[in-house]
Structure 1
Amino acid sequence: MHLIALVLALLFCGPAAAQTREPQHPPAASDGNAPAAAAEPVRGPVTGLPLPRFASLRSDEINLRAGPGTRFPVEWTYRRAGLPVEIVREFDTWRRIRDVDGVEGWVQQARLTGRRTFLVRGGTRTLRAAPDAGAAPVARLAPGVIGTIRRCERASAWCEVSVEGRRGFLPREAMWGVYPGEEVR
C-alpha cells in the first residue's frame, strides 16, 4: 500500500517539481544580447540546436504560458508577428522564450519561426547604404521598429537588414535579435 502511495505521489508531484517557475527577469548580460558564456555551446535536448538562440513570433496572437502545456495559465498574449525572441529552453513541442524586456514563458514551437528579425532599440537609428557611419542614409528607424536580418558577418559591427522594403545596414548595437560576433546568413 505504501509503495502504491509513493508511486502515485511521484507521478503527480514529479512533473510539478520539474516545472518550478524561474525568475521573470534573468540576470542581464553586459549588453542584453550576449548568450551565457560556456566552454561548449549548450544544445537543446529536443532539436539539438544551440541554446539560447533567436527566433521570431509567427503570428499576431501568441499566448505566453506559465509552463510547457495548455493546462498552464496564459500570462501574456503577444500581438506582434515578427517580434524577435530568444529560445532559452526546450521541452517536447514547447519552447521557453525570453523577449526584449527579459520576460520569459512558454509557447508552442509551431508558433515560432526561424526567420531572423530584429527590433530597433535605443533612440531613432539611421539605416545606411553601406556598413559605415558616414554612408548615405536610407531611412530613419524609430525605436521598436521590426525588420528582417539579411546577413551579419561574424567580425562585423554591422548587419545587412531590410525594413518595409528598404534595404541597408544597421550597427549590431542598435538592434535586439543578434548576438555580438554571431554570423547570420
Structure 2
Amino acid sequence: MVSALPGPLAAQGTPAAPAAGPSSGLQLPRFVSLKSDRVNLRQGPGMEYPTAWVFRRAGLPVEVIKEFESWRQVRDAEGTTGWVLGTMLSGRRTAVVLPWEAGAGGSAVAMLRDDDSEGAAVVARLEAGVLASIISCDGRWCRVSVGGVRGYVEQSKLWGAYAGEVIK
C-alpha cells in the first residue's frame, strides 16, 4: 500500500500525561515528520518484520507513540500505526490541514490569515490535506508556511500540533 495524503480522522486532542521515551528520553507521545519521500512502516520494531505500508511524502507529520531501541512506533493522521526506523524521522514540525475532511467530497478549507485573529485578512485558503511547515504555535494559532506563503491558521484545523500546545 502507498499513502500519499492522510484521509478522514477526528481531530487529535491533548496527549495523555507525557512520559519520556526509554530510548530517546524525549516526550511520548510527540509529533515528528518523515525525512524521506519513501519510508517503510513495519509491523514490528526490526528489519525482519514485513512492511505494512509505504509512506511516500517527505515532511508528512506522524505521532511517535512508543520507542524500542532505534525504532519508533508511529501513528499517521488516518490512525494507521506501525514501526519506523528512528533515522527516518525528523524533529521538524509539520501539519496536515483538516485531514479528517480530506477525501470527504466536500470543499473544507482553513483560512491562512496575515495575523493571529479571526478578523485578520485572509492570505490564502488551505484545502483539506495540504501540508504545512509549522513555524510556531501559541496554543490557539499556528504560524505556518505553505508553498512559500506564511500566515496564521487556527491550531484546531491542523493535525501535527496538539490542542493547546505551544511551539517556539
**Alpha-carbon separation, structure 1, partners of 2:13 and 2:60:** 15
TM-score by length of 2: 0.87
CA RMSD of aligned residues (A): 1.4
Q: Which runs of 5+ in 1 are unaligned?
A: 1-27
TM-score by length of 1: 0.79
Which residue of 2 is the match for residue 176 of structure 1? 159
- Quick one: percent identity of the two aligned structures? 49
Indicate if the aligned counterparts of 1:46 and 1:92 stay in contact, CA closer than 8 A: yes
- Of the three residues 121, 140, 157, the one matched with 1:136 is 121
Answer with 1 or 2: which has the greater Rg. Answer: 1
- Of the three residues 112, 137, 157, the one matched with 2:89 is 112
Q: Which runs of 5+ in 2 are unaligned?
A: 1-8, 102-107
Matched to 1:75, the amino acid is A
- Of the three residues 42, 65, 74, the one matched with 1:97 is 74
Per the TM alignment, residue 125 of structure 1 is displaced from its structure 2 partner at its CA by 1.2
**Alpha-carbon separation, structure 2, partners of 1:171 and 1:178:** 11
* Structure 1 consecutive aligned stretches of length 4 or more whose deviation exceeds 4 Å: none
Indicate if the aligned counterparts of 1:33 and 1:178 stay in contact, CA closer than 8 A: no
Higher strand proportion (structure 1 or 2): 2
**2:61 corresponds to 1:84:** yes
**Matching of residues 145-184 of structure 1 within 5 Å:** 145-153=130-138, 156-184=139-167
